[in-house]
Every structure is written in C-alpha cells, then in structure tokens.
Amino acid sequence: MKNILRFSAILMLLVFLISCACIKNKNTISGKVIAVEFGKDGYTAKINSDKNEVYFAIISIVNVGGPQNYKLLKEGEEVSLKGEIWKTETENHIKVKEIIAIK
C-alpha cells in the first residue's frame, strides 16, 4: 500500500512539473504592432501575431513593474510580449507583464 501511495505521489509531481513547463511558453506572443490606443493608465496595442491572430495588449506602468520597464510601442514595430493571456468570444487579450523585445 505504501508503494502505491509513493508511486502515485511521484507521478502526480511529475505531471505537475511537466504541465508547468509547457504553460511557460504559452504566455508569450510575438508580432507586429498595427495600432495603439492610449488610455487612462497606459495604452492598448493591437498586435498581429506571427500566427496571424490579433491580440489586444494592455500595457501599463504598474503591470510591467515600474517606469524603468515601461516602453511605448509604435505602429509597425515587431515585438515580443509576455503576460497573462485570455480569450473572449471574439477577441484575444494579453495583460503584458514584460516587454521582451522591440525591433
């Protein structure tokens, strides 16, 4: 009985670790900025991703960790963003936690 419990615990731990490793890359998008709309605490950039999906990237000073990490994206720039992704019925959104690259 102890062996079954140990095996189950190890198996559950492995499944958890593998699932966490897989999720890590799903929180990153790359693409081209096609529009920028300024708001009260930051702005929303409309990104056409490498997979031809449109994302609305919400970027604010608080979410990126302070003014030293905050950057203004411009139309036509290629960007890589990391954050929390969610989907509504018709739109993809990302709350940006890190601006990885701007080209």
Convert the pLDDT of each residue in 4-56 to its tens digit. 877 777 877 777 666 555 444 579 999 999 999 998 889 999 999 999 999 99
Q: Which CATH class is domain 29-102?
A: mainly beta
State the average pLDDT over residues 83-92: 94
pLDDT at 95 over 90: yes
When comparing pLDDT for 19 and 73, which is higher? 73
Higher-pLDDT residue of 98 and 15 is: 98
Tell me the domain boundaries of the chain.
29-102
- Is residue 49 a contact partner of residue 55, using CB atoms and an 8 Å limit? yes
Rounded Cα distance, 89 and 96, in Å:
20
Angle (CA) 19-93-59 rounded to 5° is 105
pLDDT on residue 30: 96
- Would you say the pTM of this structure is higher than 0.75? no
What whole-number distance in Å separates Cα of residue 60 and Cα of residue 44? 9
